[in-house]
Chains A and B, each alone.
Chain A
Amino acid sequence: MSQQRSSKVRLAVALVLVAIVVVAAGVVLLFVTQRPAEKIKIEWWDQWGEARLKWAEEMKAAYERAHPDVEIVIVEFASDEEFKTKFESAIAAGQPPAVFRTLGGGILKSYVDGGHVEDLTSLLNEEWAVNQIPRTMLRQSTWGGRHYAVPFDLWVGHFYINRELFERAGVPIPPITTTWTWDEFKDAIRKFKEAGIIPIAVGGKDKWELSFYYMYIVDRLAGSEAFRRTINRAPGYSFTDEHWVKAGYLFKEIVDMGAFQEGFIGASYDEAQSLFFTGKAAMWLQGPWILGDLYATFPDFPIDIINFPTVPGGKGDPTMLLGAVQHHYAIAKNIPDNVKRVAYDFLRFICREENVIRYAELSASPLAQNVKVPTENYSPVLVKVIDSASRARWLQMAYDEYSPPKFAQVHLDSLAGVAAGTTTPEQMAEAQEKTAQELAEQGILPLEQV
């Protein structure tokens, strides 16, 4: 009996102890979770990279100094893919970042359609924004007349060339203000091959580098509106139209000539970069982001830029450049009101002229805003890039960024097939048309009325 009682007592004591521990843990948790709530937290997501991260840290410090009740939390991602996955998980969890970077285009559209992105039309119609942000730069983030993101900078695609190799092979360098023809382009390829130089380096494994060629050829052939009309299912436009197939064959023509390095279909961006940086390849079709790494490793590199050639019978505007707004910032829709107010204010803050100039200085990229940057802050090649971009009458956004992800993958995969010789340009055209039709049936296309 007494034994039973004592064990009963022990059990009771144990239960009381457990209760105390649970309550104590609860109190601690409450304490821990409540403390950060004193400050308003603004999560700021981007795939920063070193130079832009420095800018972000300066912005954070300056803003927090002026607003002691706000904490800016900079979150860094290593790749687009990681960003996309985490962002989609955060949305699913109902805890989206307040301010986030976007490329605009098909992916942003899918977030907008899902009701996850704040409508920034009112912000972008404020007086400063109307003066500072050209309306053409809003094209990638505007649907149904509503704006969803603030554009910051641009990328444009050029052939980056090694002047020394051009001289060695006796290939004249077509100045950036002029055009050159497909035949001259093919001549150059032949001369480089005779001189034992790889004409063009390309990282075919990542596929988007291959897509640059196809997109340029299509625009040179059929004009700037061809893609936008066709993907948005304008009546009378189809991916099986002649110029889509012809573009595939022109691309195949230079592949078959051996314009690219051996095994380019399996080569990564890094491998292509090595070939170009170490002077093994004469040309590399890229954006200005390569310059940072180039100057860091080879400060005396004989770098220059030239245009993509015109094509025979092409109707496209030869000043057109491949390019787009590269970084926009947007605000998530489903966040608390007080956080949202601060997010708006923070966007206005980073768009102040001095902050945008600082952005340009650090990131060394052409701006998508009407802010004059003193040219001594840019390298000579970058000044050339910016001038060329300002002359362009049309910037063609990359297909894989503009399109819904499904279409983007079909485009990239089938083009890689053309490069490998396993897919014909006709099959590629059909695959793209079939996917576009499916997406139209599912209501994903069109992205905009054209």
Chain B
Amino acid sequence: MREKNSLVVSKFFTLKGLRELLDSQAGFLMALPALVFAVLFVFYPLAQMFYLSLFRWNFVSPNMVFVGLDNFTRMFLNDQVYLRSLLNVILLAGQSSAIQIPIGVALATIILRYRRVGGLFWAIIFLPYVVSSVAVSLIWTWMYNPYFGSVNVFLRAVGLGFLARPWLGDINTALIAIFGTVNWIYIGLTTTMTIATLRSIPPSIFESARIDGLSGFQEFRKITLPLLKELIVVLVIIDIAGAFKFFDLIWVMTQGGPSDSTHVTTTWLYRAAFRASEPGYGSAIGVTVFIFSFVIVQLLIKFTRSRLTR
């Protein structure tokens, strides 16, 4: 008993003990600096957000009024724009998956088939993704402008003049216009990921398919597509998670307008917290975003893990 005690004490007070301690805890100690930053800049703000979501406050007042779950009931029962923003997130995720993935896969197969020009083509469609999204948003804002923009000029030139309209200045088309820009940016990424996956497939599979007499379309349907299944699942989940953190493009292009028709949860959060000076309500929105994305990330991890171990 006494020996045991002295051993524990000696651990801290003799150099040898200290060294043993350092040795045994090396992993933890090496992770410590990163951990400190994670706690300071991730976990602490997160806890603060949960805490703030229970208050009514205006950033500068000394009085924070505890309101319980009022912010949450207001959000789900009285805040039409919040519900609309949730719908817009779902639409954004849905259309991203439905449009970007098929086009990305198609482009990837084309690029891999015509390798000589494919490389250049690939670089061009990937370019929007590496440009700053604020710059992209500003460019597209002007392109959609009904007086100076090139989108309407193009539509008229190809005989689709009846489609010409003030894209961002119409509550029925603003969201569609934003989706157009989103797809323009991210199709390059989807294509790139598909190309990388397809390249990792041994060419012998395709060769034997050809020897067995499969047509191009059959080859795509029976071999390429099944091999891309996992990638597609991952892409869908990335699209969903991405929709929840989507902000800059919409804020620059429409600020959630016209008439609140293009808000997503993050822009509505920003408007509540920093425009209307209601950090409590903004935090409450943040909490819901956190919970939704947390669930999705859990699904993502579970899905990919079960696939990998199978």
Interface 1/0s, chain B 243-263, versus A by CB < 8 A?
000000000001101111100
Segment touching B, from A166-174, A234-242, A368-376, A417-425: A417-425
Q: Do residues B61 and A409 form an inter-chain contact, with CB atoms below 8 A?
A: no
The one of B58, B174, B275 that contacts A110, using a Cβ cutoff of 8 Å: B58
Asked if A102 lies at the interface with its beta carbon under 8 angstroms from chain B, I say no
Q: Do residues B60 and A420 form an inter-chain contact, with CB atoms below 8 A?
A: no
Question: Which chain A residues (196-213) contact chain B, with CB distance < 8 Å?
Answer: 204-207
Q: Within the complex, what minimum Cβ distance (angstroms) separates B274 from chain A?
A: 6
Q: Do residues A205 and B59 form an inter-chain contact, with CB atoms below 8 A?
A: no
Q: Do residues A266 and B276 form an inter-chain contact, with CB atoms below 8 A?
A: no
Q: Within the complex, what minimum Cβ distance (angstroms) separates B282 from chain A?
A: 12
Distance in angstroms between the alpha carbons of A444 and B146 in the assembled complex: 42
Segment touching B, from A47-55, A80-88, A152-160, A297-305: A80-88
Chain A's closest residue to B81 (CB) is A413
How would you classify the secondary structure of chain B's contact residues: helix, strand, loop or mixed? loop
Q: What band does the interface of chain A fall in when counting residues whose beta carbon is under 8 Å from B?
A: 35 or more
Asked if A290 lies at the interface with its beta carbon under 8 angstroms from chain B, I say no
Q: Most B CB atoms within 10 A — which of A268, A404, A419, A423?
A: A268
Q: With A416-B257, A416-B258 in contact, is A110–B60 under 8 Å at CB?
A: yes
Q: Which residues of A contact B128 (CB under 8 A)?
A: none
The one of A84, A266, A408 that contacts B258, using a Cβ cutoff of 8 Å: A266
Interface residues of A (CB under 8 A from B): 4, 7-8, 11-12, 81, 84-85, 88, 91-92, 110-111, 113-116, 204-207, 261-268, 271, 274-275, 280, 404-406, 408-410, 413, 416-417, 419-423, 442, 444
Interface 1/0s, chain B 206-218, versus A by CB < 8 A?
0000000000000
Q: Do residues A422 and B171 form an inter-chain contact, with CB atoms below 8 A?
A: yes
Distance in angstroms between the alpha carbons of A92 and B275 in the assembled complex: 18
Q: Most B CB atoms within 10 A — which of A204, A266, A404?
A: A266
Q: Most A CB atoms within 10 A — which of B58, B62, B171?
A: B58
Question: Which chain B residues (155-205) contact chain A, with CB distance < 8 Å?
Answer: 165-171, 174
Asked if B278 lies at the interface with its beta carbon under 8 angstroms from chain A, I say yes
Distance in angstroms between the alpha carbons of A149 and B10 in the assembled complex: 64
Q: With A11-B19, A266-B258, A274-B148 in contact, is A420–B277 under 8 Å at CB?
A: no
Asked if B294 lies at the interface with its beta carbon under 8 angstroms from chain A, I say no
The one of B141, B147, B276 that contacts A262, using a Cβ cutoff of 8 Å: B147
Interface residues of B (CB under 8 A from A): 15-16, 18-19, 56, 58-62, 65, 141-142, 145-148, 165-171, 174, 254-255, 257-261, 271, 274-278
Q: Do residues A405 and B277 form an inter-chain contact, with CB atoms below 8 A?
A: yes
Q: Which residues of A contact B171 (CB under 8 A)?
A: 265, 420, 422
Q: Do residues A267 and B255 form an inter-chain contact, with CB atoms below 8 A?
A: no
Q: Which residues of B contact A410 (CB under 8 A)?
A: 276
Q: Which residues of B contact A419 (CB under 8 A)?
A: 258-259
Q: With A114-B62, A204-B169, A262-B169 in contact, is A12–B15 under 8 Å at CB?
A: yes
Q: Do residues A114 and B258 form an inter-chain contact, with CB atoms below 8 A?
A: no
Chain B's closest residue to A271 (CB) is B145
Q: Do residues A205 and B255 form an inter-chain contact, with CB atoms below 8 A?
A: yes
The one of A7, A8, A409 that contacts B276, using a Cβ cutoff of 8 Å: A409
Distance in angstroms between the alpha carbons of A144 and B271 in the assembled complex: 31
Q: Do residues B60 and A88 form an inter-chain contact, with CB atoms below 8 A?
A: yes
Q: Do residues A405 and B275 form an inter-chain contact, with CB atoms below 8 A?
A: yes
Q: Do residues B257 and A110 form an inter-chain contact, with CB atoms below 8 A?
A: no
Q: Do residues B148 and A110 form an inter-chain contact, with CB atoms below 8 A?
A: no
Q: Most A CB atoms within 10 A — which of B65, B142, B259?
A: B259
Q: Do residues A113 and B61 form an inter-chain contact, with CB atoms below 8 A?
A: yes
Given A262-B146, A266-B258, A406-B278, 8 new contacts (CB under 8 A): A8-B15, A88-B60, A110-B58, A116-B60, A263-B170, A266-B169, A416-B260, A419-B259
Q: With A264-B169, A409-B276 in contact, is A110–B61 under 8 Å at CB?
A: yes
Q: Most A CB atoms within 10 A — which of B56, B65, B257?
A: B257
Q: With A205-B254, A263-B165, A267-B169 in contact, is A406–B147 under 8 Å at CB?
A: no
Q: Which residues of B contact A92 (CB under 8 A)?
A: 59
- Listed A/B pairs (24) with beta-carbon separation below 8 Å: A8-B15, A81-B274, A115-B62, A205-B255, A205-B257, A263-B146, A263-B165, A263-B170, A264-B169, A265-B170, A265-B171, A265-B258, A266-B169, A266-B254, A266-B257, A267-B145, A271-B145, A275-B147, A405-B277, A417-B259, A419-B258, A420-B171, A422-B171, A423-B259
Query: Which 4 pairs of residues, A with B, have the shortest CB-CB distance?
Result: A263-B166, A263-B169, A266-B169, A420-B259
Q: Do residues A110 and B277 form an inter-chain contact, with CB atoms below 8 A?
A: yes
The one of B60, B166, B275 that contacts A111, using a Cβ cutoff of 8 Å: B60
Q: With A8-B15, A11-B15, A268-B141 in contact, is A114–B169 under 8 Å at CB?
A: no
Q: Which residues of A contact B274 (CB under 8 A)?
A: 81, 84-85
Distance in angstroms between the alpha carbons of A115 and B258 in the assembled complex: 37
Distance in angstroms between the alpha carbons of A77 and B109 in the assembled complex: 49
Chain A's closest residue to B60 (CB) is A114
Distance in angstroms between the alpha carbons of A267 and B275 in the assembled complex: 19
Q: With A265-B258, A265-B259 in contact, is A280–B19 under 8 Å at CB?
A: no
Q: Which residues of B contact A408 (CB under 8 A)?
A: 276
Q: Do residues B260 and A262 form an inter-chain contact, with CB atoms below 8 A?
A: no
Q: With A110-B58, A114-B61 in contact, is A266–B168 under 8 Å at CB?
A: yes
Q: Do residues B271 and A265 form an inter-chain contact, with CB atoms below 8 A?
A: no
Distance in angstroms between the alpha carbons of A143 and B109 in the assembled complex: 70
